[in-house]
Structure 1
């Protein structure tokens, strides 16, 4: 498993770094590791799956 910073994750997903931080703070995506300096690290595949599930839930709620 390769852990990504919020900036790297944002680039991979095509969304802003601020959105990544907000999603993590709200518990919408899992943080794999918090560094001693307080920086988040993420597993790309875990976050992709969590975002897929959130999108699916959102679509179902709108139906």
Structure 2
């Protein structure tokens, strides 16, 4: 697997989705729609994710959604 600059292991979209308990197509759609940013996009178009960064982005996404509803 690829590694982030800090030595953190990067995971595939399927692996990240499984760890987070969401469907991989949902994670892919969020990335395609610009709601989440993968750590790396490979030349093949495949995405790689830092789990720490992804969790932070998802937390911020939820917070934005909550704030917009108020």
Distance 2:43 2:67 in 1: 39
Consecutive unaligned residues of structure 2, counting only runs of 5 or more, are 1-7
Moved over 4 A (4+): none
- Structure-to-structure mapping, 1:40-51, within 5 angstroms: 40-51=47-58
The number of residue pairs the alignment matches comes to: 63
So what's the TM-score if we normalise by structure 2? 0.82
- RMSD of Structure 2 on Structure 1 (CA): 1.0
Alignment match, 2:60: 53
Unpaired segments ≥5 residues, structure 1: none
Shift of 1:54: 0.9
- Structure with the larger helix share: 1
Bigger relative contact order, structure 1 or 2 (CA pairs below 8 A, ≥6 apart) = 1
